Amino acid sequence: MKLFHAPTSPYVRKIMVALIETGQLDKVELVPVKISPFNPGDQVPSLNPLGKIPCLIRNNGKPIFDSRVICRYLDTMHDGQKLYPNDSSLWDVLTLEATADGINEAAISMAYEKILRPKEQQSDDWVEAQWLKISRTLDALEKNSMDQLNGTPDMACHAICAALGYLDLRHADRGWRDTRPNLAAWEDEFSKRPAMLATTPELPK
């Protein structure tokens, strides 16, 4: 298999964590790409017409995307401890994973606004609207999701940790930890798992 990826992407990080957790990292060739919404290149759009990563090429040559689909697929490809439960709690896991992806979407949109758009075209109102989504979601996690996060370390837990790590990477100045002590303490501990440590992102130098 081949994984088209960029190491700073929280969506890619989810997949890398899944590969490590399920013992499949050595079965995948990592293909780094540098793309953006304004410059998707030709290679990735030929595989995923949306022009987005991550994109996984299976052994049969067919691509699959997005990250939630890829993670579910990888979880079917091993016989060890599954990342997704096989009972009614699956819906809680999928919902929490979708929550993580929503944080990522808003956080990446904020970063793109500052990195990709000319200064005169940037909208502070847009950035703040995205942060409002994130802030509201973090408050909900602090209030409603700690029991789930402190349970079995499933894919949702890894996805939330990756999303919080991306906030630290791109938006540390927002101080998301300051008013969510339980969530912050959970992330501090969960991020010490080997798969999370091995995939800690760094901004390009």
pLDDT digits 0-9 by tens, 1-28: 999 999 899 999 999 999 999 999 999 9
- The answer to whether residues 36 and 70 belong to one domain is yes
pLDDT digits (tens, 9 = 90+) for 112-132: 999 999 999 999 999 999 999
- The answer to whether residues 50 and 99 belong to one domain is no
The count of structural domains within the chain is 2
Residue 116 structural domain: 90-198
pLDDT at 204 over 80: no
Read off the tokens for 35: 């793309």
Rounded-to-integer distance, Cα 54 and Cα 33, Å: 10
SS3 content of the chain, % helix, strand, coil (to 5): 60, 5, 35
Is 84 within the bounds of a domain?
no
- The answer to whether residues 66 and 95 belong to one domain is no
What mean pLDDT is predicted for residues 89-108? 98
Is 32 within the bounds of a domain?
yes
pLDDT at 203 over 90: no
